[in-house]
Chain A
């Protein structure tokens, strides 16, 4: 057993031959509540999509709990950005949550009562139990995010990668999500969250990854989330590099 939930070595990811993430090497210990921060276009979403195998890696090795992703798929849960799906899709809140169980079901098998019970329990955990039979287009942004989190809960994973769960949600939902993340952490889960709001980093998280096309820092919040690292991530010379990169392409 290894103490790392995730270990990334020399990860480079390119869109149409143009690298958007360079040589990232980092390790995040199991049981962390980690955030990934960086300016727009820094490659935060790209990093977790690369880890989840949704984008081809140009180079690098990712291990999760010491294994390649294929061997531990069921232990990893992914929460995509809310805007990545069509919320007019003809389905109910409960059905969306049930999709989180599909990874545990064999081909052709339908969700059973046990899966439904788990889905209802997860909806309760995010305060959405009364919405189970609603059509998903009737939800507000915050409610959509809670449904996605409930779907992640029923996956019963050990490591969660979440793409901007706090984006565009109301204050009540933000609090509910924070409480949920902390509860999961107490149960020994590891969370890696793409985050935007620098003011809440120290309050919500205990591990920070600062990213801007390259890795700037990765470590416990008090050592990684420093003014100097922030300046490197958000201003100064790296901006120049981005500008040059855009000029070349």
Chain B
């Protein structure tokens, strides 16, 4: 029972952190940059392993966050100077960095305790047994502490810089004329995405972390018309997906992380159909109603 709670708690923190930042990625039309960063951090993790010969989370977070920022920077550089459209710039950058990471891991697979399966799919089921021991006393699962810390950082970032994130997302030109640096907040957001991605990496893997970045935010976007509520909803949906996913995985005896992402996708489909104003059903009904009463009043 406690093991289940610990797994759900960790998964919930992953989904909530990702949902919070992913909402901004969606509004900035940069969802695929989240995808890119989550893949491109791989060589950063591998190099941090190689250099420190340990799985200590601090060098890992540092190495991966650096690579995340490198991705964001390269993408923008290629887009600005290389005549490449931004989607092509993203595609070139992250696949190459991911490939380098795969090579580094396969070359030194004997020396580092990291297999490609785990990198791609993650393994959240081991969370309760990988405990953090300080001075002989166990403080509980290490992953829970790391994800908790990351979630607090993300929350503090979004809370403190709410107004700056909002205006640089909605109207970057206005932000710049007001003296708010859009570039600073772009890279701060990318740094936060990189850090979150790498922390979530071990747990849900490089591919499913993208689902966690995008699905809760995309679902919340259909449910509300207020930025504050959108962030709250995406956190709530993330946590619900983690809990529901765990239940589903137990029921059908499948990968927990996969089930969590599947449930997150399920929530999205539900919202797409049944959301109060933006759902397909309510839009259809509204259209029929307005046809019944003559032309719509605007």
Chain A residues at the B interface, C-beta cutoff of 8 Å: 49, 52-54, 73, 76-78, 80, 84-86, 89-92, 95-96, 99, 102-103, 105, 107-111, 135, 137, 140, 151, 155
Q: Are B173 and A80 in contact (CB under 8 A)?
A: yes
B170 CB within 8 Å of chain A: yes
Q: Which residues of B contact A (CB under 8 A)?
A: 27, 160-164, 166-167, 169-171, 173-180, 221, 224-227, 229-230, 298
Task: Say yes or no: A103 contacts B179, CB within 8 Å.
Answer: yes
Specify which of A90, A99, A108, A109 lies most central, judged by the most chain B CB atoms within 10 Å of its CB: A90
**A127 to B295 CA separation, bound complex (whole angstroms):** 26
Q: Please determine whether B174 and A78 come into contact, CB atoms closer than 8 angstroms.
A: yes
Supposing A78-B177, A89-B27, A135-B225 touch, asked if A105 and B163 sit within 8 A by C-beta, the answer is yes
List the A side residues contacting B178 at CB < 8 Å: 73, 102-103, 155
Chain A residues whose C-beta falls within 8 Å of the C-beta of B230 in the assembled complex? 90
**Are A108 and B170 touching (Cβ within 8 A)?**
no
Whether the Cβ atoms of A99 and B221 lie closer than 8 Å is no
Asked whether, in the complex, the Cβ of A91 is within 8 Å of the Cβ of B166, the reply is: yes
Given contacts A90-B221, A110-B162, A110-B163, contact A54 B226 (CB under 8 A): no
- Cβ–Cβ < 8 Å partners of B27 in chain A: 86, 89-90
With both beta carbons as reference points, the residue of chain A lying nearest to B298 in the complex is identified as A140
Task: Flag if B171 contacts A54 (CB, 8 Å).
Answer: no
* Complex CA distance for A238 and B45, rounded to whole angstroms: 58
Q: Is the CB of B176 within 8 A of A54?
A: yes
In the complex, what residue of chain B is closest to A70 when comparing beta carbons? B179
Residues of A within 8 A of B180 (CB): 102-103
- Report which of B167, B227, B229 forms a contact with A102, defined as CB distance below 8 A: B167
> How far, in angstroms, from A52 to B177 measured CA to CA in the complex?
6
In contact, A90 and B177 (Cβ under 8 angstroms): no
Chain A residues near B176 (CB, 8 Å)?
52-54
Q: Smallest CB–CB gap between A55 and chain B, Å?
A: 10
B170 contacts A54, CB within 8 Å?
no
Q: How far is the CA of A175 from the CA of B245 in the complex (A)?
A: 57
Within 8 Å by CB of A92, from B164, B169, B171, B226, lies: B226
Q: How many A-B residue pairs have CB under 8 A?
A: 78
Shortest Cβ distance from residue A109 to the other chain B in the assembled complex, whole angstroms: 8
A100 to chain B, nearest CB (A): 8
3 tightest Cβ-Cβ pairs between the two chains A and B = A103-B178, A135-B225, A78-B177
Complex A-B: 18 CB contacts under 8 Å = A52-B176, A54-B176, A54-B177, A73-B178, A73-B179, A78-B174, A80-B171, A89-B227, A90-B227, A91-B166, A91-B226, A92-B226, A96-B170, A99-B170, A102-B163, A102-B164, A102-B167, A137-B225
Give 4 new A-B contacts, CB below 8 A, not counting A89-B170, A111-B163: A73-B178, A91-B170, A91-B227, A102-B163
Distance in angstroms from B162 CB to nearest chain A CB is 7
How far apart are the CA atoms of A107 and B163 in the complex, in Å? Answer: 9
Q: Report whether B177 and A76 are in contact in the complex, using a CB–CB cutoff of 8 Å.
A: yes
B221's closest neighbor in chain A, by CB? A90
Q: How far is the CA of A78 from the CA of B162 in the complex (A)?
A: 22
By a CB distance below 8 angstroms, the chain A residues around B169 are 89
CB-CB nearest in chain A for B28: A86
B85 CB, nearest partner CB in chain A, Å: 14
CB nearest to A52 among chain B residues: B177
Of the candidates A52, A91, A107, the one whose C-beta lies within 8 Å of that of B164 is A107
Q: In the bound complex, do residue A78 and residue B225 qualify as a contact, i.e. CB atoms below 8 Å apart?
A: no
* Min distance, Cβ B166 to any Cβ of chain A, angstroms: 7
**How close is A71's CB to chain B, nearest CB, in angstroms?**
11
A85: chain B residues within 8 A (beta carbon)? 170-171
Q: Report the Cα distance A89→B24, complex, angstroms.
A: 11
How far apart sit A76 and B174, CA to CA, in the bound complex (Å)? 11
Q: State how many angstroms separate the Cβ of B286 from the closest Cβ of chain A.
A: 13
Residues of chain A within 8 A of B163, CB atoms compared: 102, 105, 109-111
Contacts of B175 in A (CB 8 A): 102
- The distance from the CB of B222 to the nearest CB of chain A, in whole angstroms, is 10
CB distance from B108 to the nearest CB of A (A): 43
Find chain A residues with CB under 8 A from B170 CB: 85-86, 89, 91, 96, 99
* Alpha-carbon separation in the docked complex, A78 to B175 (Å): 10
The answer for the CA separation of A111 and B166 in the assembled complex, in Å, is 13
Asked if B177 and A99 make an inter-chain contact with CB atoms under 8 angstroms apart, the answer reads no
In the bound assembly, the distance between CA atoms of A84 and B166 in angstroms comes to: 16
Please name the residue on chain A nearest to B163 by beta carbon: A102
Known: A80-B171, A102-B167, A140-B298. A108 touches B161 (CB 8 A): yes
In the complex, A135→B225 CA distance in Å? 6
